[in-house]
Amino acid sequence: MNNWVVDAIGKINADAHRSADTHLFKLPLPRLEGIDIYLKDESTHPTGSLKHRLARSLFLYALCNGEIKEDMTVVEASSGSTAVSEAYFARMIGVPFIAVLPKSTARSKISQIEFYGGQTHFVESAPQMHGASVELAASIGGYFMDQFTFAERATDWRGNNNIAESIFTQMEREPHPVPSVLVMSAGTGGTSATLGRYIRYRGYDTRLTVVDPENSVFYDSYMTGDRSLVSDKSSRIEGIGRPKVEHSFQPGVIDKMLQVPDAASIATMLWLEKLIGRKAGPSTGTNLWGALKSAQEMAKLGQSGSIVTLLCDGGERYLDTCYDPTWVSTCVGDYEQYAVELDGDFS
């Protein structure tokens, strides 16, 4: 293999080797007798979200496949955390990076991509991102990373300290070491694919519940088996929910899906801040709402056990959206009923 490629793979692996694992912490919820809920804190990666894992996997996959070579520009369709994390790895191995994003993308996101040395290429609206990325990569002899296609296959689902193996190892000394339920939302669907495959591969007695926000077709596609569903709306919960069924979404490994109202996601995100004194992003609210509902179901059946879900990113990225009451009342609406329910049932 080419020396540059060997060197690039070495740099990415060394970065992973310098990292400690992300913390799995137990929520203080005494009202849930015999049921423990844990959050795996993915906000502590160097680029602040679970997309750090995805970006590392996508770069390694493309390098090992011989797709990324010295001086080749990497292109991605992402206005979010994936572009931020990929810009970090592109700079690490010394290749240019261009994020293709809608011109409505928040200034703070663009700054983060630029902070890691990434460039930006704007399109009118989100549905044009994919086509524009294919074209841009072809016209400059670059490589289109294509997270929504490759997320599920770039990760080593059998182990290699992927997020699933990490969760099951970290749970080993807990009162209920094998979780009854893992709860995760889907953006690319890559993380839920890894969790679901790992559960089956290791034969764990754990169910995978995937939570879906409003304006996403994943839930309906799961219920009907129709992969051609599309929607003309975009999800308001950043990072999750898609207007089309992405290749990386793997319904076969999911045991159950649950639709979560956006107002419930926001209410849970704000409720979590009161509980742990830290701000998480809105998809963490969606995840935790699903975990709390799963806990209620278990309690009703008289079961005890543990439930694990993810804190996907920190709330600092959302101060002018989900943490801004004006934005919330305009874009999402009233969440009072969910706040009351959370306080009544769990606080």
Ligand X SMILES: *Cc1c(COP(=O)(O)O)cnc(C)c1O
Whichever of 5 and 258 has its CB closer to ligand X, that residue is 258
Tell me how far, at minimum, the Cβ of 4 lies from ligand X, in Å. 29
Dihedral sign for Cα 258, 262, 265, 267, please: negative
Tell me how far, at minimum, the Cβ of 49 lies from ligand X, in Å. 5
Give the CA radius of gyration of the chain.
20
Whichever of 73 and 194 has its CB closer to ligand X, that residue is 194
Binding site for ligand X (CB under 6 A): 49-51, 80-81, 151, 185-192, 239-240, 281, 283, 312-313
CA distance 13 to 132: 31
Could you tell me the CA-to-CA distances from 57 to 54, 78, 158, 234, 265 in Å, in that order? 5, 16, 14, 26, 28
Whichever of 82 and 206 has its CB closer to ligand X, that residue is 82
Tokens (6 digits) for 41: 């804190």
CA distance 165 to 86: 23
Tell me how far, at minimum, the Cβ of 26 lies from ligand X, in Å. 21
Tell me how far, at minimum, the Cβ of 54 lies from ligand X, in Å. 6
Q: Report the residue number whose CB is nearest to ligand X.
A: 239
Query: Do the bridges between strand 181-185 and strand 305-311 make them parallel or antiparallel, or are there none, so unpaired?
Result: parallel
Tell me how far, at minimum, the Cβ of 301 lies from ligand X, in Å. 28
Tell me how far, at minimum, the Cβ of 182 lies from ligand X, in Å. 13
Based on the number of CB atoms within 10 Å of its own CB, is 101 exposed (0-12), middle (13-18) or buried (19 or more)? buried
Tell me how far, at minimum, the Cβ of 313 lies from ligand X, in Å. 4
Whichever of 49 and 268 has its CB closer to ligand X, that residue is 49
* Nearby residues of 195 by Cβ (< 8 Å), 6 or more positions away: 163, 164, 167, 182, 184, 208, 253
Whichever of 35 and 58 has its CB closer to ligand X, that residue is 58
CA distance 209 to 240: 15
CA distance 57 to 199: 20
Whichever of 36 and 42 has its CB closer to ligand X, that residue is 42
Whichever of 187 and 196 has its CB closer to ligand X, that residue is 187
